[in-house]
Amino acid sequence: MNAKFKNLISTVFPLIGIVIITVLINKDILEFFNTSILYMCVVSIFAIQWICFIPSYIYQTENYFDLTGSITYVGISITIIILNNNLDFRTLLIGLLVIIWALRLGFFLFYRIQKKGFDSRFKEITPDFFRLLMTWTLQGVWIFLTFSAGLVAMSSTQKTPIDIYLIAGLLIWIIGFSIEIIADRQKQIFRSNPDNKNTFITSGLWSWSRHPNYFGEIILWIGIFTISIPVLSGWQYLTFISPIFVFVLLTYISGIPLLEKAADAHWGTSSSYKIYRQNTSILIPFPPKKSN
């Protein structure tokens, strides 16, 4: 199959899926000028990515890719809060949690790319118009799918008081977010030490999991879904795809597989790395196994 056609198909098909899901879950949603807020959010998510794609291709840069995704989360959250004429604590809480997560992760990744000077993921993508367009589009898909439960809950006309779902979801989110930022900070400190150049981290949370930051990411989105549950109904339970999508994406597609492959290529012949890999959980933190 022609590469351009394949990339075009990979761009169009996910969009069709997003349209179908959006129509199915658009129930009891607030309107603004007789237009569903959910529809407005979905259109805005992709419009932002496509607008940013243009200078990305013209200037052959990926430096603001992750930051754009994070700003999209923030912008959509603030927009729903402003347009919501039936604002409640659940809506405010979900918006606040998503904004905090997005700003932290977005600027963390942006700083990392600026310091490194490039994003190795884009080495072969940026020069290819259709492949780069597909990548920016898929970022929109990622934003919608991960945020889907929160989007529905925030824009729903159905309101419920503070309950066990909200409290449990908040606690789950705090645990996941804490694990993610602690893991990222531990690795950042480790890499800032010149003595650790060309070595791998095996301390802190990284002694219990080879990818604790990804574990935290998955957990915090389970928290967002949990908070959203009381206002979901019917087809809106499809938004459980949010934490499932994050799990599949990080464990089978773009996260762990790529990092594990890179680590094997870099340290695969190292006996210490082989021991670390054998004794340390790949995702869920567990006490490391004792070497024989």
- For 128-141, write each residue's pLDDT tens digit: 788 889 889 999 99
Residue 82 included in any domain: yes
Which of residues 2 and 153 earns the better pLDDT score?
153
**CB contact set of 67 (below 8 Å; sequence gap of 6+):** 106, 107, 109, 110
Write out pLDDT tens, residues 13-39. Answer: 889 999 999 999 999 999 999 999 999
Q: Give yes or no for residue 1 having a pLDDT over 60.
A: no
Dihedral (CA of 110, 115, 120, 126) sign: positive
What total of structural domains would you count in the chain?
1
In a domain, 97, yes or no: yes
Residue 267 has pLDDT above 80, yes or no: yes
**In a domain? residue 285:** no
Residue 290 lies in a domain: no
Name the pLDDT band for 69 (thresholds 50, 70, 90). Answer: very high
Asked if residue 229 has pLDDT above 60, the reply is: yes
Domain annotation covers residue 287: no
Q: What percent of the chain has pLDDT over 90?
A: 70
Task: Tell me the sheet residues that pair with 31.
Answer: 36
Question: 120 in a domain, yes or no?
Answer: yes
Q: Is the pLDDT of residue 119 over 80?
A: no
* Whether 161 contacts 252, CB under 8 Å: no
Write the CB contacts of 255 (distance below 8 Å, at least 6 apart in sequence): 211, 214, 249
pTM: 0.91
Q: For a pLDDT cut of 70, what percent of the chain falls above it?
A: 94
For the packed helices 129-155 and 65-83, what is the interaxial angle rounded to 10 degrees? 30
Range of the domain at 227: 3-279
Residue 134 located in a structural domain:
yes
| Model pLDDT, residue 116 | 65
Tell whether the model's pLDDT for residue 51 goes beyond 90: yes
154 lies in some domain: yes
For residue 44, pLDDT over 90 is answered with: yes
